[in-house]
Amino acid sequence: MRRLAGKVALVTGGGSGVGRAAVEMFAREGARVAACGRNAARVEETIAAVRAAGGEGLAVAADVSSDGDCGRLVAAIVERLGGLDIVVNNAGVGYDYELTHPGAMADLASTPPASWQDVIAINLSSVYNVCRHALPHIFAAGGGAVVNVASIGGVMGMADAHAYSAAKGGMVNLTRSMAVAYGPKGVRTNCVAPGSIETKMIRHRLSAAGDPHLADATRFMVSPLGRVARPDEIASACLFLASEEASYVNGAILVVDGGTTATWS
């Protein structure tokens, strides 16, 4: 029996990285999956891969920092896929070496108001926007699961990345509060807190080191395992929390960082 057979899931930020890995993984486990993102072409690519593998999915272009977009997103999922049982709030912005979101990793005094608001809107308010529209349908289904993808930056202090850290820290405590409020209604809410993940941004950092020995040292410093996480490793944690294997897990913050935070304690 596939772990998510008969379930309908939404994964935000489903066009790349952890989001794409989660969409494809959930579909393999039997879920009908909606992927959303601001880049329509990328989410279409994700769902094309799902369909090519024999799964059922829906691609929706949406900006989860917009309450209106989230309302339309959830309505489309319920209409096209027949309900909603699982939400994975994965959309977010972080360290961007191309500086399209420079405020994400600046300290407070160096963060322009527009950058602060942008990061909070995408990384935290999006959870409110999505869940406000999704929860009535999950309640109607008799319960389900919400998985919020935060960061180890949300559980530890950081010298920079103040907007990012504040948003992810807010997501961590919102997870706990939702678990307390909605557990009695059959909705489990949990959080995955990843460390560094193999993404375009991390690859850019490693390649920019120039000296291959320095690049190797940088990679090793990311975690005691000597590497960064693959997107599918974070997606696997999301799958566990969304499945019945985690039926008594509620309000948990699952750190998936290869031991990075163990070196801080």
Q: Which CATH number fits domain 8-194+233-253: 3.90.25.10, 3.40.50.300, 3.30.499.10, 3.40.50.720?
A: 3.40.50.720
Highest mean pLDDT among 111-115, 164-168, 207-211, 216-220: 164-168
Q: Read off the pLDDT of residues 151-171 as tens digits, 9 standing for 90 and up.
A: 999 999 888 889 999 999 999
- For residue 199, is pLDDT > 90? no
Reading the block at residue 151, the tokens are: 């960061």
Which of 130, 129, 126, 243 lies closest to 188, judged by CA? 243
Q: Per-residue confidence at 214, pLDDT binned at 50, 70, 90?
A: very low
User: What torsion do the CA atoms of 255, 258, 259, 264 make, to the nearest 10 degrees?
Assistant: -80
Q: What percent of the chain shows pLDDT beyond 70? A: 87
- At CA 203, angle to CA 97 and CA 167, rounded to 5? 50
Exposure class string for 18-53: b at 16+ Cβ within 10 A, else e: bbbbbbbbbbbbbbbbbbbbbeeebbbbbbebbeee
Question: What is the pLDDT of the chain when averaged over all its residues?
Answer: 91
- Helix axis angle for 126-140 and 162-182, nearest 10°, is 20
Classified as helix, coil or strand, 144 is: strand
3-state secondary structure of 100: coil
- What is the predicted pLDDT for the residue at 161? 86
Asked if pLDDT for residue 211 goes beyond 90, the answer is no
Tokens of 260: 């990075």
- Residues with a known catalytic role: 164
Q: Residue 2: what are its φ and ψ, rounded to 5°?
A: -70, 145
| pLDDT > 80? residue 27 | yes
CATH 3.40.50.720 in the chain, residue ranges: 8-194+233-253
Compute the distance between CA of residue 221 and CA of residue 225 in angstroms, rounded to an integer.
9
Q: Measure CA of the first residue to CA of the last residue in the chain; give whole Å.
A: 40
